[in-house]
Amino acid sequence: METLGNEIGAKMSKNEHGIFYCNLCDYKCSKKFNMTRHLLTSKHLMEINGNVLEHKTSKNEQMLKYTCKCGKKYKNNSGLWKHHQKCIIIINDKTDNNEVNECDYYDVNEDIHEEKNSTHESPQMEMLINLFQEQLKENKELKELIIEQQKKILELGPGTTNNITNNNTMNNKFNLNVFLNETCKDALNLSDFLESLILTLTDFENFGPLGYCGGISNILVNGLNKLDISKRPIHCSDLKREVIHIKNNDTWHKDDDKQQMIKAIKAIEHKNVKQMTLWAKANPEYKDPNHKKSDLYTKLIDNSLCETDKEKALKNYNKIIRTVAKEILVDKN
């Protein structure tokens, strides 16, 4: 019978056909390497760290548990439990019917120093144990890192959300800048676009049924729709906030106070008023107060001019801008 040991405190005897047996876990194997690997498993470690087996026997049977099967006796269950952590059974021989003929029990704490000189498996065991210990250390460090990161996030509080929002806003601005400065780099200036608009008598007459806001919006939207999207001098990036971007002097800028749009509306109004004389020449019947075109002419003039009251005029301008913004909204998809 050969006496063996291992790096975690096990002393075992093994015959030529010996089988190793773990008393705590009811585990057996034929190779010492497998037994040593078992001793490092979570199941075995949980057993030796304090998992107490349920006792359902009577008081007399409990007294018997103070004596180990290996023959050692203890005054109390605590001493026996500590001994069980170190006790390994080696089953020496088997019959043809797989019945155990003989069992030997050994204390794994005896003759530890013999292991390093008695088996070629020791370096492998040392490596396995070292890897296990390193893994435990890494897990602990990772846990500490996660806890530290969570503390930092809690300290940042709402600011973290604000930073994310700001980053998203910057990305959106960048994409819009690419659209305006690359896709729409050849767009017309707003001033050139307004000069290119050619109004007709039909445009003038539309102010009758559409009114001032509808007439101006109709002229502006029709003019923009005749252009390719990349050629348009006006774009809306945010319909809810009515964010308008205008190109003038070969540069795109945001019309924060809407003054550029109001100037464009006034320029179209001025162009339309010039149609009055042409319409009057084409419809001389308006001079007859009893003719229906006389009332129409009066209505057209009234609807072609904006309100003189500043508050009412601003209300009309904003209404026109909202209408136009819906038609020039940038498609971000």
For 143-180, the pLDDT digits (tens) are 888 887 777 777 776 555 555 555 455 445 447 888 88
The strands making up 87-94's β-sheet, listed across from edge to edge, are 27-29, 19-22, 87-94, 100-107
- Output 157 or 325, whichever has higher pLDDT: 325
CB–CB of 109/87 below 8 Å? no
For 13, other C-beta atoms within 10 Å of its C-beta total 16
Hey, which residues does 11 pair with through a beta bridge? 5
Q: What's the pLDDT at 329?
A: 92
> Residue 247's closest CA among 213, 216, 224, 278?
224
- The amino acid sitting at 51 is N
Provide the angle, in degrees to the nearest 10, between the axes of the packed helices 207-225 and 259-273. 120
332 vs 328: CA distance, rounded Å:
12
- Output 19 or 12, whichever has higher pLDDT: 19
Q: What's the pLDDT at 53?
A: 42
222 vs 205: CA distance, rounded Å:
15
205 vs 209: CA distance, rounded Å:
8
213 vs 317: CA distance, rounded Å:
8
- Output 213 or 140, whichever has higher pLDDT: 213
E strand intervals along the chain: 2-5, 11-14, 19-22, 27-29, 87-94, 100-107, 234-238, 243-248, 251-254
What b/e readout covers 247-264, taking b as 16+ CB neighbours within 10 angstroms? bbeeebeebeebebbbbb
For 78, other C-beta atoms within 10 Å of its C-beta total 10
Q: What's the pLDDT at 159?
A: 54
CB–CB of 323/210 below 8 Å? no
pLDDT more than 90, % of the chain: 39
Q: What's the pLDDT at 35?
A: 78
pLDDT band at 36 (very low <50, low <70, confident <90, very high): confident
Q: What is the pTM of this model?
A: 0.49
Digit-coded pLDDT (tens) for 212-237: 999 999 999 999 999 999 999 999 99
